[in-house]
Amino acid sequence: MHFAVFGASFDPPHNGHLALSLFARELLRLDRILISVSNNPFKQKRGTTDVHRKCMAELLAREINRTGVCCEVSGWELEKKQPSYTVDLLRHLHRLYPTDKLTLLVGEDSFREFSLWKEPDKLFSLCDIAVFSRASVSHNTPPPATMLPKGSLKVIDFSAPISSTLIRDCVAAGTPFSHLVPPSVYRYIMEHGLYRNPLAPATSTQVLKHQES
């Protein structure tokens, strides 16, 4: 079985995450995608709680599975209650699935910090890496492909100029963001009042809900 790991903070999940997952499934012929909600040591400041992030990741998985069940969410990194590292997650997965082929899905911006990851040289023996380039990232400096064994790295042209930071900023400012996230994630953010700035103007949805209550 060929399965991929897609780890991120998912704070919140957005349409770029959805598109990347669907694209990877078809292009790499994946049997399974594991979404891992991380405690990335490079992103210690969270917009919301671990519980909310995992719930939204599960909504993302449901959106992916609308076109064929292949995706599930792992909370293993969150359960550690400490900063999590990709190499530890991959070792854990290898213990669970020792005979499966494993591919790590990663955005180009994260991959450019590859040398800062914990035990980056150990990753080569644990998985292949599929790097998805982003339109918002400069291509002046190529990714460190020379650091990787031949055949273990695939760079995929993928343009989805959306970020979780952009969405949090939109919500805090009271500007529309429903076009940036899956509908179920949008409803979840609105219903739980996530990422809101109390001083920001209410959106039309918030006004409608207030009038109906």
Structural domains of the chain, ranges and CATH numbers in brackets: 2-161 (3.40.50.620)
Q: Rounded to a whole number, what is the largest CA-CA distance in the chain?
A: 60
Q: What is the pLDDT of residues 158-191, one digit of tens each?
A: 988 899 999 999 999 999 999 999 999 999 999 9
Indicate the burial class of 139 (C-beta count within 10 angstroms; 0-12, 13-18, 19 or more).
exposed
Which element (helix H / strand E) includes 102?
A: strand 101-107
Token digits of residue 187: 């409803």
Q: Are the beta carbons of 69 and 33 closer than 8 angstroms?
A: no
Question: 8-12, 37-41, 128-132, 175-179: which range is least confident on average?
Answer: 37-41
Q: What is the pLDDT of residues 112-155, one digit of tens each?
A: 888 889 998 888 889 999 999 865 444 444 445 445 555 588 88
